[in-house]
Structure 1
Amino acid sequence: MEALPRETIVDVLESRLREDILTGRHPAGSYLPPERTLADGYGVTRNTLKHAFARLMQAGLLETRHGVGTRVRDYLRLGGADLLPMLVRHSPDWIGEIFEVRRSIGALIAERAATRATGKQQAELRALLAAVREAPDADAVQLADIEVHRALARATGNRVYVLLTNTLFNAYLPVRAALAGPFEDPGAAHGRLEPVVEAVAAGDADTARRAAEEYLTVTERIMLEGLA
């Protein structure tokens, strides 16, 4: 068995600071108290505080100006999609907004893939679809399903769609286990996704878009029921 990772004091402090920022205790644009004051307030050393600051700066929530101080960034104005996994961990409310984007982007990707997929890509899509039906459990079905969507994005020939697809999947990774509803039955999961793949393979853009919209709407409903 693999040992579970243990939380360090830096992990705990990072989490506490992140929550204090996202809940508005430290509002966007404000400067944090001096390091010594903040460290005393959280009951940690300044060295521990610096390590937590470094993580939050990397995450895009803080910025430090030498001789001025550490300021909370306005992540909604300046941040990127890489913040989504952290925001989902903070509040599941973000899932609804992610699903809205998933529906619109997913339908567009299917439509584009239908007009641009090569013969090799069409064959790859069918092979990946078959892997969904053959997967042994819900987790494996979900991962196999994800690979179909990555392949659809690649088939558009547009690398931005590929990155957007990766971003959306990464965004709900923190709650992926709670979104397994559509993947518990491999045959049913395969059946829901098959019309999308077949329309793309047939080069039928309108049908691919409609099939994707249906697939994304149905799976979203099942996933949200699981979260509820």
Structure 2
Amino acid sequence: MEDPIIRDTTVDALERRLRDAIIGGRHPVGALLPPERELAASYGVNRTTLKHAFVRLMQAGLVETRHGVGTRVRDFWRLGTAELLPSLVLRDDAWLGEIFEVRRQVGTLIGAMAARRAAAPDVLALREQVAAVRAGADGDQVQLADAEFHRLLARATGNRVYLLMTNTLLGGYLPVRQALVAPFRDAGAAADRLRPVAEAVAAGDEDAARRAVETYMTDTEALMRAGARPRARRRR
């Protein structure tokens, strides 16, 4: 089955162009963006479309709007949080490499802690999720089921911060998942990569869980990089 065609809306396209202009420095940190009417006209959109794009940029932490003042570019390198990751990944593939690095490091910690702390319901949920991965009908379903496994693994640590960190990393990865679907086209193979993690957690073996997660992360990263469709590279 081929990957679905994604059709950008006008808001999507405008958000992407404004995001690139901000991160690329065309609109410097601290600068006020041009008045809405002028900015909308320069991009050939109406002000409603511009306002929708502004809402997304505010949610990403790139701008702030004050009544009577206007929309200003935030110092996102100093004040920004991991919520910016999806925007940065969509702009520059190099960010994926940095996400992969953190994914490996944090993932092994989560695996070991899950093995130490997981309760019986956690183990059951992990095993059931491996089965859900195996039952995936296509690459996208398998990929999303795999992502849910990692949320369950983080939840098994009993540390909610690990769960939020996992959500953050997935938030940077999932928007571009269609280009990284290679490890998930074979549902059985994807499930087999996760099964050792679930069983090491079930056995309470921290070292085995750490090794299993590291193997999983290394193998899937290699498959993602090998199978990734080239995208236009943009400057930071």
Equivalent residue runs for 1:1-228 within 5 Å: 7-8=9-10, 10-44=11-45, 48-227=49-228, 228=230
Counterpart of 1:72 in structure 2: which amino acid? V
Structure 1's unaligned 5+ residue stretches are none
* Shift in CA distance, 48/116, structure 1 to aligned 2, threshold 3 Å: closer
Give the alignment's Cα RMSD to 1 decimal: 2.2
Q: Higher Cα Rg: structure 1 or 2? A: 1
* Shift in CA distance, 118/44, structure 1 to aligned 2, threshold 3 Å: closer
Counterpart of 1:16 in structure 2: which amino acid? R
Q: Distance in 2 between matches of 1:44 and 1:129?
A: 46
TM-score where L is the length of structure 2: 0.84
Q: Distance in 2 between matches of 1:126 and 1:167?
A: 24
Q: Distance in 2 between matches of 1:163 and 1:172?
A: 14
Contact 2:104 2:214 in 1 (8 A): yes
DSSP-derived class of the 1:172 partner? helix
Counterpart of 1:33 in structure 2: which amino acid? P
* Shift in CA distance, 77/206, structure 1 to aligned 2, threshold 3 Å: same
Deviation at 1:6, TM superposition (A): 6.8
TM-score where L is the length of structure 1: 0.87
Cα deviation 1:34-87 (Å, max 9, x = unaligned) = 445434433455565444334322331112345544321121211121221122
* Shift in CA distance, 125/44, structure 1 to aligned 2, threshold 3 Å: closer
Deviation at 1:106, TM superposition (A): 0.8
* Percent of aligned pairs sharing the same letter: 63
How many residue pairs were aligned?
Answer: 224
DSSP-derived class of the 1:64 partner? strand
